[in-house]
Structure 1
Amino acid sequence: MIIDNVKVYTREQQFVKGGLILDGDKIREIYTEAQKPDFQGDAILDGDGAYAIPGLIDLHFHGCMGDDFCDGSKEALGRIAEYEASVGVTAIAPATMTLPADELIHVLKTANEYKKETCDPKKADLVGINMEGPFISPVKKGAQDARNILPCDTALFDRFFEASGGLVKFIGVAPEESENALDFIRQVKDRVSVSLAHTNADYDTAMSACRAGVDHAVHLYNAMPAFSHRAPGVVGAVFDSRQVMAEIICDGIHIHPATVRATFQMMGADRMILISDSMRATGMPDGQYTLGGLDVKVVGKLATLVSDGAIAGSVTNLMDCLRTVVNEMEIPLTTAIACATINPAKSLKIDDEYGSLEPGKKAHIVLLNPDLSLKTVIKDGLKL
């Protein structure tokens, strides 16, 4: 397939008028308008001046369309992956909740089996799993079930990692909750990215964790201490630890636009990762749903726990978060795209195949109209 007459988002994070030549499920060549080759006899898709960007990568979300990753069902995971691909999110690393250990192992085994059995261009690629719990803080549990919180346990992590067949890419910790937290981080960091997640750590404790090997932060600002002038907390420690990549939920509910803009300036766009943190109500009407076994009420874009009113994930997919970042939060489109494509690909260590439009990489391409509405999704070289 040849995709012509588009503005191609390049690895330099700029748009260039031209097109792409695909070879099966890979990108063969990118050309500029001035280099346009002779296409006689070839299948050509006229992009009509659309933006051509890489398929998005969501490395932290829970579900959509009535299904949740933690349902532990291959059928549910397939439906989730199909919905995500349909909106332009072509690679996914869904997140677990804080469930009983045996339930988590079942979820991880199911994902491993699904990964081995599934090769469907209509479905987003399962490229990892983000374990948000169970090694978190009850003080900052958010929508997690406190009954299932555990201290850091290397032997248990080994079981998680084995059950997933190595699909676990992130493990969250609240370093203040376990005496062995720093040892745990050092023991697992060569196999998995360790995240600061649902933590009430102060600045010094968070910095110790970062020095021990933490390189990721789960939904910055949410489920962690406030960032203030005398107590910079986890946010300050993340800023001072240049190796740490930071997730941020930009659904227009979780974080004020001014804070988003300030954070991009403070951290640098190369460290920011857009996530949706979407739950099973995404793509569904208002009503009552569940998340991690807890009841959640959804009204518009707001999802809250029925029990205490805490924000319970989002009901916005990553493509809509991208639009919100650009249209409502004034982040440049070229920057926002990188934070939803190549940055998560680097954190997942899959940037050799995903995250940018380059020869040899997967032909996961999304065409967006000038108003950023979805025009076309191409997955593995096929138009969905």
Structure 2
Amino acid sequence: MSDLVTVILAAGKGTRMKSKLPKVLHKAGGKTMLQHVIDAAKAAGAKRNIVVTGFGGEMVREAIGAQAEFVTQTEQLGTGHAVLQTKELLKDETGTVMVLCGDTPLLTGALLKKLYDEHVAAAAKATVLTAIMPDATGYGRIIRSADGSVEKIVEHKDATEEERKVREVNSGIYCFAAKDLFEALSHVTNDNAQGEYYLPDVLEILKKRGEKIWAVAADDYEDTLGINSRLQLAGAEKILRRRKNEELMSEGVTIMDPATTYIDDDVKVGRDTIIYPMTWLEHGTVIGEECEIGPNVRFQDVKCGNRVTGQFIYAHECQIDDDVKLGQFVHLRPNTHLFEGVKIDNFIEVKNSNIGKGSK
């Protein structure tokens, strides 16, 4: 069994979002950013996930529920201080603690598993997830030793001209040996301009002790991107939609125009189904095989059988069985069940109804 535990930092307000909602609860690809991170951690094999909350903590806890354990960072005094809040919960852990950011919805389970596996294989006390950025301006640079280990992480403003040419940067995601993490955290100070306790200082402390600090580079820098504004959120949304469309097309679904097709992460679509442009398939929706859906269809939590056809439709919280034909400008409201072979004409609204097999 994996000895991996994650600590997910989700205490910040996200002032650049200009929102009453905690930043990590903004959605991309049909799920909150925090949910994407938790799902990636689970896929990587984490046995426990601990979320550090702060601003809007009650909303975060309500949104995530029993999927994670929670601690509160009453004052936002830096990343090191945030991780320190989990010390009591993790006092008996002897394995690996992976520190994640709740505003990184593009992380994948495969990437986090790669980080964990290489951390263990390297027998490092700490491992940094890095990215090779097209433009590294503003990022902390990873300076490696000849053996590939991390010599230091230098902030952009402190880097020499030669160091600024390095495009490998710190993603802010780490693996630590649990006992060493909390022992080193006890020595981190807030002697800096912001008066905060920084998690990267742990690396410096461990390095001075002669411990091995490793680094693992993501295959695609996009996977590591953090979201700090609505503009960046829209960028993440585009990437997640592209990934989902590519996944479905590789499984035998025809998407006529991926640029105008919006499919949430948890949606399932059967092979040989054709999705026409300007179609939204949202949370909870399942589409069977050999269907023709769209153009201009919006399905929310719709369970749809095989060989269903429909265009210019809005349907939500309903069930559509095999071989149903839907006319144009149909509205299917909650608790509607269309049985096999039903035909619905144009400009029809159905609510709280069971329409029997073969009905027209």
TM > 0.5 fold call: no
Which gives a bigger RCO, structure 1 or 2 (Cα 8 Å, sep 6+)? 1
TM-score, normalisation: structure 1: 0.22
Structure possessing the higher radius of gyration over alpha carbons: 2
